[in-house]
Amino acid sequence: MSGEPRTRGPALGETARAQTPIDFAIGASVFLLTLAFVVAFVPTLFDPFTAADTASPLVSDRVAAGLAGDLLAASPAEPGVLSPACTVAFFESNATLGTDADCHPAAAESPTAHFGIDGDVQVVIHALNETRPSENASTLTIPTRHGTFEDVELSRSTDGGGATGGGDVTVSRRLVSLDGTQYRLTVRVW
């Protein structure tokens, strides 16, 4: 109203830029990083719902922890210290000894039934330096308060004794103590 004509936009000689090059570069970079993240991680969203071809390491670890810490343990306060009577009851499938020794009710039960596993399981207790535990399980004489058990082979398998399994195998290990001697508990699931 002062008599000068009103102009819209920048004055003559000035450039009208709505976006600077640095703004564009930052925006494009954020977009590309987000797109790369989505492309990389969307396929893994459905992995928990697909069936695995191999046994999960979680399964073998659950069996090893359950055996060393609960099923064969002398006391829940001392996981890894195995009860001699419960160990014999498990490896000899002796339910009577398990009941007499106040072991876990499933001490003589198959590990596949107790832990709800579809595949085959092999449980072996062996010397610490054993390189082929599935073939060289320890054979011990185990004294218990219910008698002495001679030549107890500390290996139990659900595949008919061969323990060869088919396909891939997952392995979990625990250090255990039986009558004051350290051994290694190895669980194979396939």
pLDDT value for 136: 76
pLDDT value for 130: 84
pLDDT value for 174: 93
pLDDT value for 51: 59
Contact criterion met (CB below 8 Å) for 113 and 102: no
Q: What is the pLDDT along the chain (190 residues), one digit of tens a residue?
A: 566 666 565 555 566 666 688 888 999 999 999 999 998 888 777 776 665 555 678 888 999 999 999 889 888 888 899 999 999 999 998 888 888 888 888 888 888 888 888 778 899 999 988 888 877 788 888 888 888 888 888 888 886 555 555 667 888 999 999 988 999 999 988 8
Residue 166: Cβ-neighbour burial (10 angstroms; 0-12, 13-18, 19+): exposed
pLDDT value for 117: 83
For the chain, the C-alpha Rg in angstroms (whole number) is 32
Please report, for the chain, the start and end positions of each structural domain, with discontinuous segments joined by +: 57-189
pLDDT value for 143: 86
Pick from 64, 31, 34: nearest CA to 183: 64
- Is pTM beyond 0.95? Reply is no
Contact criterion met (CB below 8 Å) for 122 and 187: yes
32's tokens: 């590309």
